[in-house]
Chains A and B, each alone.
Chain A
Amino acid sequence: DMKVTQMPRYLIKRMGENVLLECGQDMSHETMYWYRQDPGLGLQLIYISYDVDSNSEGDIPKGYRVSRKKREHFSLILDSAKTNQTSVYFCASSADWGGYAEQFFGPGTRLTVL
């Protein structure tokens, strides 16, 4: 079953708290992504991972870091969350990193930072 899972689905944190968003996939995809989407904007790429411990910044990496210690898991970490990081976060994976590759998305995590 080709699936990307995200935990938690909803999260409320206070400003300054640390946040951990988890993503898993069962397709053995090498490439994984973290995006955020804000109202009225398209998906913005935060980080991309090409494989275990091989991560690159996307378009908006400031305030975020990632960890990928197993191919099937990709975590997004917010150290000391800020209110402007309130957003919906999507994780995705693909069999290839090329811009022609189909991406498989998780259902999203709605994060609210108060």
Chain B
Amino acid sequence: GDSVTQTEGQVTVSESKSLIINCTYSTTSIAYPNLFWYVRYPGEGLQLLLKVITAGQKGSSRGFEATYNKETTSFHLQKASVQESDSAVYYCALGGNTGYQNFYFGKGTSLTVIP
């Protein structure tokens, strides 16, 4: 089947340190996966952080980056220097091109940045 696995649970990082949240995907039905990172800040709904639809490409937004690696089926989220305002829950997601039936969210990773 199809699935997304990401760094589970909670991650705590000190302000100005680097961050990586791992995401790997598995699919048997999606020929050309689209990969997403969504973020949910406290009290708000999920919002798109970045999206990459072509293997080998990198997406970036708000200082975050993620590279779509088809060989390792990975889409890790990285940031060189986190800020307290980055504290949120991050979700990796996988989508196909044929509709909602092929769209999967990871379980979410809760990031806390301590000053």
Is there an interface contact between A100 and B91, defined as CB atoms closer than 8 Å? no
Is there an interface contact between A107 and B97, defined as CB atoms closer than 8 Å? no
- Assembled-state Cα–Cα distance A43/B46 (Å): 11
Q: Decide if the interface of chain A is mainly helix, strand, loop or mixed.
A: loop
Instruction: Give the number of residues in A that approach B within 8 Å (Cβ atoms).
Output: 26
CB of A103 within 8 A of chain B? yes
Q: CB-nearest residue of chain A relative to B53?
A: A100
Which residues of A have CB within 8 Å of B91? Answer: 42-43
- Assembled-state Cα–Cα distance A94/B96 (Å): 15
Q: CB-nearest residue of chain B relative to A58?
A: B100
Which residues of A have CB within 8 Å of B108? Answer: 37, 42
Q: CB-nearest residue of chain B relative to A6?
A: B45
**Given contacts A4-B45, A42-B106, A102-B51, are A97 and B34 in contact (CB under 8 A)?**
no
Instruction: For A99, give its contact among B43, B98, B106 (CB under 8 Å).
Output: B98
**Given contacts A42-B91, A42-B108, A43-B91, are A99 and B45 in contact (CB under 8 A)?**
no
